[in-house]
């Protein structure tokens, strides 16, 4: 189903031109059709765990084995999933535009595997690990890096932790994101529930600076009424169609 809310200025075919400055925010919904579960499923649990258990510094301190095993499972899962038509459509859009930034809350690597280049992982990356002591960050995805045993830093021997932004930690590259939001002409949020800040506030920053705002989601998100336009449906079905329309019209 496709419908529009707040249609004061409904998208016309030339809404996005080659010169438009476009910022896209993606969330778990864009990877759903690649087989990665979203966070806020009806049971309120993330792969059978409470978020506080596996996605907070306190959870890591209380039970590092559990948290490590949890992320090792998520890291191994990356080997079995592929980008979908939604990821691929965003790569095509990027190729068409001169000024494009993709900000993702997702920690999977499906955007980069689809070919996206100007990409910020604001909540970190599963493929990377970080030393708790010297903060060295490395991509470690060989077989020997995906086992259940803890790994240690090759530089200082400190214990490695997931390179993930947990609740109560600072998202990455915020100044760069905020600058792009304040300068963009069009902001599009895709597959995100609008529950988690600061990402949920990007819509308001872009809007307050005059951007046209579009939401694409399976269900109306928390902040749906603030979008100029909302399109309801699956990202992998809607995006190929929309991107073709934006590029060719
Ligand atoms: P959520 O799980 O909160 O929301 C995913 C949204 O995607 C929901 O609103 C679904 O309706 C929608 N959705 C599901 N399938 C879809 C599809 N095929 N196409 C389009 N939309 C679909 O995930 P996020 O908003 O990404 O943070 O969650 C934000 C952050 O909360 C995550 O980055 C994570 C989590 O705690 C950290 O790990 C730090």
Token couple for 62? 């209380």
CA distance 110 to 28: 11
Question: What confidence score (pLDDT) does residue 49 get?
Answer: 86
Q: Pocket residues for ligand 1 (CB within 6 Å)? A: 27-29, 32-33, 38-40, 51, 55, 105, 123, 165, 191-193, 195-196, 217-219, 221, 234-235
Identify the segments of the chain with pLDDT beneath 50. 1-2, 5-10, 13
Question: What confidence score (pLDDT) does residue 2 get?
Answer: 42
Question: What confidence score (pLDDT) does residue 42 get?
Answer: 54
**195 CA distance to ligand 1 centroid (A)?**
9
**Using an 8 Å Cβ cutoff, are 122 and 199 in contact?**
yes
Question: What confidence score (pLDDT) does residue 100 get?
Answer: 98
Residue indicated by tokens 């059978």: 48
**Using an 8 Å Cβ cutoff, are 140 and 128 in contact?**
yes
Active site amino acids: 123
Question: What confidence score (pLDDT) does residue 45 get?
Answer: 66
Question: What confidence score (pLDDT) does residue 47 get?
Answer: 72
**166 CA distance to ligand 1 centroid (A)?**
15
Q: What are the φ and ψ backbone dihedral angles of 23, each rounded to 5 degrees? A: -115, 130
Question: What confidence score (pLDDT) does residue 5 get?
Answer: 44
pTM score, two decimals? 0.94
């Amino acid at each position: 189903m496709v419908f529009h809310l707040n249609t004061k200025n409904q998208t016309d075919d030339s809404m996005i031109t080659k010169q438009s400055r476009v910022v896209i925010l993606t969330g778990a919904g864009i990877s759903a059709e690649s087989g990665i579960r979203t966070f806020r499923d009806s049971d309120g649990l993330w792969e059978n765990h409470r978020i506080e258990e596996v996605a907070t510094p306190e959870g890591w301190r209380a039970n590092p084995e559990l948290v490590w095993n949890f992320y090792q499972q998520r890291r191994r899962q990356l080997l079995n999933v592929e980008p979908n038509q939604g990821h691929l459509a965003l790569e095509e859009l990027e190729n068409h535009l001169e000024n494009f930034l993709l900000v993702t809350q997702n920690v999977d690597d499906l955007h980069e595997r689809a070919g996206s280049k100007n990409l910020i992982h604001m909540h970190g990356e599963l493929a990377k690990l970080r030393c708790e002591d010297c903060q060295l960050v490395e991509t470690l995805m060989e077989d020997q890096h995906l086992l259940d045993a803890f790994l240690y830093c090759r530089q200082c021997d400190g214990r490695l932790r997931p390179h993930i932004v947990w609740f109560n930690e600072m998202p990455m590259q915020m100044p760069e994101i905020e600058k792009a939001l304040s300068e963009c002409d069009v902001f599009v949020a895709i597959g995100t529930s609008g529950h988690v800040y600061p990402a949920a506030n990007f819509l308001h920053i872009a809007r307050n600076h005059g951007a046209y705002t579009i939401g694409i989601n399976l269900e109306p998100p928390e902040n749906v009424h603030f979008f100029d336009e909302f399109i309801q449906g699956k990202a992998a079905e809607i995006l190929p169609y929309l991107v073709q329309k934006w590029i060719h019209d």
